[in-house]
Amino acid sequence: MSNRFKAKFNIKKGDSVVVIAGDDKDLKKPRKVLEVYPDDARVLVEGANIITRHTKPSAQNTKGGLVKKEAPIHISNVMLWDSAKSEPAKVKRSRENGKLVRISKKSGEVIK
């Protein structure tokens, strides 16, 4: 991404999201965001985009072998989950008492 402007995203660590594109697409199964990488516009989602890594034996891992773990996916391929309506929803931001809060466009409730 460009270094001129810092991108602002509506998804934060710990949010529930659904994967809306790719091999792990499932619009009914909310998953947890483990990490957000704003510089790369990517998120690490629990159970999505599983990759296999070959690891050498080491002091911590004496066996080595194949390790399955999540890889980051682009932030445009996930959508925030609205728990009040139990479906994905777009988000708008507004100020309440001087703080910026995220509000679901479908239910109108504040997302914590």
Q: How far apart are CA 77 and CA 63, in angstroms?
A: 35
Instruction: Give the pLDDT score at 3.
Output: 72
Give pLDDT tens digits for 43-69: 999 999 999 999 999 999 899 999 999
How many Cβ atoms are within 10 Å of 51's Cβ, its own excluded? 9
Instruction: Give the pLDDT score at 2.
Output: 63
Q: How far apart are CA 42 and CA 60, in angstroms?
A: 29
SS3 77: helix
Using the structure block, give the residue that is written with the tokens 């483990």.
Answer: 34
Instruction: Give the pLDDT score at 1.
Output: 60
Task: Kindly report the pTM of this predicted structure.
Answer: 0.84
Give pLDDT tens digits for 16-36: 999 999 999 999 999 999 999
Instruction: Give the pLDDT score at 4.
Output: 83
